[in-house]
Amino acid sequence: MTTPAEGSLVLGIDLGGTKILAGVVDDQHRIVGRAKESTPAREGPEALREALVSAGRDALQVAGIGPERLSAIGIGSPGPLDVDAGVIRSSPNLNVTDFPLKGTLEEAFGTPVAVQNDVRVGGYGEFKLGAGRGYRDVLAAFVGTGIGGCLIRDGRIVTGVTGNAGEIGHLIVKADGPKCGCGRKGCLEAVASRTAITRRVYKAIKKGASTPLRDVVKSKTSRLKSKELSGAYRSGDPVAVHEVDRAARFLGLALGGLMNVLGPEIIIVGGGVTEALGGPFVDLVRNAARAQAMADPDRLVRIEQAELGDDSGLLGAALIARERFVGTGEPQRT
Ligand SMILES: [Zn+2]
């Protein structure tokens, strides 16, 4: 851990469905104090407020600073959001409606707050500070419980007229395929997310397949951790290998199609599943995408693994807040 830096400090928060990550970030984009809280996903708004404030305070404490040293706060949150008002409009995963993220944090820390969609801040973090450094046209795909995407065109996040552009998780990749959480059938998320893989592993077990995952996946809604999946995959468990290969193929199918449409300079593949499975998974995705990408005969589009891991969200959130309230966000050398 570095000592608290001179210059402006920003608090970045990544509000996820299972955990809240908070970090104090200096003007060289280094995390100088970090904290983690479990997300109170079912307890409602007051518990969520307490957890957010507590994560922020703990990060400040680790950094050895008080709230008066903060220039801004940035937070990435699941949506749908009212980004300008800084409100979570509704989130079944967090069990809140019209939750005032911005107001809550402004009141607790007395500093301006920028709110943005969690996947977008992760993508923006990777674009500016991770695998996307030096590029202008980037597509980021994050594979975890669900599948999220972030499209960056000419250096800016594309949100579209709807404000929601970039939702690659709900591209249909299998007509009349399995039902998705969004109500449609055959979405990418319904066949290639960890949730989808878990459901298929459970099916295989029910049909009598022998797999070490039998101890973890006891129902179709069991929580299979990415590490458990990657452990089984690495040990050569046929069920894990088959399902990971299949998920990577579908992800590649979607990304290859997007390569044809968008021609980005780089596609960044991240998220918990990718982190845990690492290079072999990215290779599978790359090969599957290239097989679809008829519009890229010279293989100009790079397909690379994300670099910031779990920190992409909090670093991206801090960066968005820094750019809005402090300055350009470019590191300032003294
Ligand atoms: Zn869907």
CA of 182 to the centre of ligand 1 (A): 4
CA of 133 to the centre of ligand 1 (A): 30
CA of 180 to the centre of ligand 1 (A): 5
Predicted confidence (pLDDT) per residue in 238-272, tens digit: 999 999 999 999 999 999 999 999 999 999 999 99
**CATH H-level, domain 9-118+311-325: superfamily:** ATPase, nucleotide binding domain (3.30.420.40)
CA of 173 to the centre of ligand 1 (A): 10
* Domain 131-307 indexed as CATH 3.30.420.40: yes
Pairwise CA distance, residues 334 & 332, whole Å: 6
Q: Which residues are near ligand 1, the ion (C-beta closer than 5 Å)?
A: 170, 180, 182, 184, 187
The residues facing 115 across adjacent strands are 75
Domain limits, CATH 3.30.420.40, in the chain: 9-118+311-325, 131-307
Residue of 97, 72, 318 lying closest to 87 (CA atoms): 97
CA of 178 to the centre of ligand 1 (A): 10
1 has a pLDDT exceeding 90: no
Predicted confidence (pLDDT) per residue in 274-285, tens digit: 999 999 999 999
Residue 332 confidence (pLDDT): 47
Residue of 113, 84, 83, 107 lying closest to 11 (CA atoms): 113
Pairwise CA distance, residues 53 & 181, whole Å: 30
Structure tokens at 260: 């044809």
